[in-house]
Amino acid sequence: MIESRTFREAFFRNRLAVLGLIGVVLIALTGILAPILREYPSGYGSELYNQPSAKYPLGSDSMGLDIFAEVIWGSRSSFYISLMAVAVASLIGIPAGLISGYYKGWIGEVIDGTVDIFLTLPTLPLMIIIAAVMGPSITNVAIVIGLLAWPSLARITRNATLKISEMQFIEAARSLGINSKAILFKHIFLNIAGPVLVNLTLVMATAVLAESGLSFLGLGDPTTWSWGTILKKAWDAGAIIDTPNPWWWWLSPSLFITLYVVCFNMLGTGINDTLNPKNRED
């Protein structure tokens, strides 16, 4: 286990990681504080297709709604969906990876084979089918994303577990007569927390891409604002190639999606670099 103090020091010396962390915290705060920041955009406004101005910082859409408010409420959905998806993926993926890595044998083979199959299947089309059958609701979408994100998490957990369970302190724990459940969920789990954490940040990032994709394809929750939903509305209204051309309508949600994903990726890369002193720059 890395000493927490050196980890913190190395982490805060890594510019990429700190930038990512700041971005993530800002987006999360925006999402949490959405009800205070702006009123929930609904109904019709009177000023359609307003350019970005003091009243509408990011312009207004074809219904006269404030895009700034939509984007803020969108970050709330994005954050909620990422968290839900990560929770679902962790609940399945981490135990599956721990078990298949520790008890090799047939149970490990079966789990690993299942992971292999799920890693090969084209994820987005499968998500589309499940979401189409389950019906559009923001929680359903999050569950679907989590259900299809667990295999990569299980794979990472398994590989790390395989490595750790060969180590001497695990053998020592075993010879002390500690039962294998305690070894697995305490001794091993604490030691693989690093790579697992890195993968979790990646799941957070891909969850938002997946949610935006599903919403863009019309499988999102039509009653909740998300960045993908805003893009779908802009696309349906022909905002990209028709005249009048309200470019601000699709540009800001797109930039927010990119920002969110980049921040989580930077955070993940940062944690990864900090955990592997080999890669540290100094």
Residues that bind another protein (CB under 8 A): 113, 116-117, 119-126, 128-130, 132-134, 205, 209, 212-213, 216-219, 231, 235, 240-241, 245, 247, 250, 254-255, 257-258, 261-262, 265-266, 269, 281
Minimum CB separation of residue 11 from another protein in Å reads 18
Minimum CB separation of residue 257 from another protein in Å reads 4
Nearer to another protein, 125 or 177 (CB): 125
Nearer to another protein, 124 or 182 (CB): 124
Nearer to another protein, 90 or 252 (CB): 252
Minimum CB separation of residue 97 from another protein in Å reads 19
Minimum CB separation of residue 174 from another protein in Å reads 33
Minimum CB separation of residue 119 from another protein in Å reads 7
DSSP character string of the chain: ---HHHHHHHHHH-HHHHHHHHHHHHHHHHHHTHHHHSPPP-S--S-TTPPS-SSSTT-B-TT--BHHHHHHHHHHHHHHHHHHHHHHHHHHHHHHHHHHHHSTHHHHHHHHHHHHHHHHS-HHHHHHHHHHHH-S-HHHHHHHHHHHHHHHHHHHHHHHHHHHHTSHHHHHHHHTT--HHHIIIIIIHHHHHHHHHHHHHHHHHHHHHHHHHHHHTT-S-TTS--HHHHHHHHHHTTTTTSSS--HHHHHHHHHHHHHHHHHHHHHHHHHHHHH-GGG---
